[in-house]
Structure 1
Amino acid sequence: MVTLIIFLGFIALLAFFLINVYNNFVRLRNLVKDAWSNIDVALKRRYDLIPNLVETVKGYATHEKSTLEAVINARNAAIAVPSGDINSQIKAENQLQRSLGGIFALGEAYPELKANVNFLDLQEKLNHIEENLERARRYYNGTVRENNTYGESMPGVLVASLFKYQNFDYFEVDEASRANVKVDFKK
């Protein structure tokens, strides 16, 4: 009888431990998803702004079709990523960020475009969106760090595969986006 009570106590303790670990996985996953939703709002605002920016640039830089098409294609690819696929969305966003750099290089290459009020207004709105996106990205990366650390350390690592633990990617600016855009005034 005593061994049965000890055995049941051990089972109860194990169940409590598993429930606690599971609840932590759920809490951390929900924090990451919440943080991503903040990023998603800023991305949707950026998606809505990009066609206006491209149309404004088209009037001044008609022979820069490949740059404008790259921006639109990157935007469409980012929009097409299925909702909830955060890691794929991050890759698509990095591609879009690289292509947007080309648009602002055109603004430097065409002084009349750079002086256009509509272009300046759109550029200011995009800068505001990018600032909001940067704040949301920092919060998201913090929640990802917490989630990934818990899933890769004790006690989470012991039962991570049992609960289908998801490791999330950080939303970082890729190396290609960090490079300075070449501006060529010889046109």
Structure 2
Amino acid sequence: MTTTLIGLGVIAAVVIFLISIYNRLVTYRNQFKNGFAQIDVQLQRRHDLIPNLVESAKAYLSHEKATLTQVMEARNGAIEAQKAAARDPVDSKNIQRLGSAEGMLSKALANFYAVAENYPELKANETIQQLMEELSSTENRVSFARQSYNDGVMTYNIFREKFPNNIIAGMFSFKETAQLELESPEARQAPKVSF
């Protein structure tokens, strides 16, 4: 009788241990998904500001259409990548595509800012100043949200890879996910706006 009770106790302890591993995997996955949702909000704000900035600058940069077109094309690509990543933030490929698209957008915006430097009347426009300030503020928010997301992904991936957690993760399809990294070192730098 005592052997049976000890055996049942050991089985119960193992089951409770496995359940706790599963629950922590779920918790960590939901935490980094929430982190991605915060990035998603800030990226949407960024993407919404860009058309206003481009539209306001059109009058001043009429012969710089290529620069404005490049910014809008990069923005549209980033929106598509953002939508794909929002549908499945666990998929590493979607996160990598988003990082690449956002890097291209950052490059296009840096080029826009460089062109804008050559137009004093553009820099003096109050609406454009405000939009550039809001965009710069949003860039900082994206950076903070990305850091939080990447921390969550790191915690999830480390926990998922440890033994015996990796067995439970494999059984229940807890896939490894990627951190959100921008494509190039230039894109990692916040755009500099000076007036």
TM-score by length of 1: 0.84
**Cα deviation per residue 1:36-95 (whole Å; 9 max; x = unaligned)?**
111111111111111011112221222222221222122222222323333143332222
Please give the alpha-carbon distance, in whole angstroms, between the structure 2 residues aligned to 1:120 and 1:137: 26
Match of 1:85 in 2: 88
Match of 1:98 in 2: 107
Structure 1 pair 85/68, CA: closer, same or farther in 2 (3 Å)?
A: farther
Please give the alpha-carbon distance, in whole angstroms, between the structure 1 residues aligned to 2:166 and 2:118: 53
Give 2:116's match in structure 1, choosing from 85, 107, 110.
Answer: 107
Please give the alpha-carbon distance, in whole angstroms, between the structure 1 residues aligned to 2:8 and 2:159: 28
Question: How many residues were matched structurally?
Answer: 181
CA RMSD in angstroms comes to 2.4
Please give the alpha-carbon distance, in whole angstroms, between the structure 1 residues aligned to 2:3 and 2:69: 73
Match of 2:187 in 1: 177
**Cα deviation per residue 1:22-42 (whole Å; 9 max; x = unaligned)?**
101100011001111111111
Match of 1:133 in 2: 142
One-letter identity of the residue aligned with 2:87: G
Give structure 1 stretches of 5+ with no counterpart.
Answer: 182-187
Structure 1 pair 116/129, CA: closer, same or farther in 2 (3 Å)?
A: same
Please give the alpha-carbon distance, in whole angstroms, between the structure 2 residues aligned to 1:74 and 1:109: 22
Please give the alpha-carbon distance, in whole angstroms, between the structure 2 residues aligned to 1:100 and 1:23: 42
One-letter identity of the residue aligned with 2:36: W
Please give the alpha-carbon distance, in whole angstroms, between the structure 2 residues aligned to 1:164 and 1:96: 33
Q: CA deviation at 1:112?
A: 2.2
Please give the alpha-carbon distance, in whole angstroms, between the structure 2 residues aligned to 1:165 and 1:54: 42
Please give the alpha-carbon distance, in whole angstroms, between the structure 2 residues aligned to 1:18 and 1:61: 62
Please give the alpha-carbon distance, in whole angstroms, between the structure 2 residues aligned to 1:53 and 1:94: 19
Please state whether the residue corresponding to 2:175 is helix, strand or coil. Answer: coil
Match of 1:35 in 2: 35
Please give the alpha-carbon distance, in whole angstroms, between the structure 1 residues aligned to 2:112 and 2:150: 28
Matched, 1:26 2:26: yes
Q: CA deviation at 1:141?
A: 1.5
One-letter identity of the residue aligned with 1:112: E
- Identical columns (%): 40
**Aligned partners of 2:99 and 2:182 also within 8 Å:** no
Give 1:145's match in structure 2, choosing from 139, 154, 160.
Answer: 154
Match of 1:166 in 2: 175
TM-score by length of 2: 0.81
Match of 2:51 in 1: 51
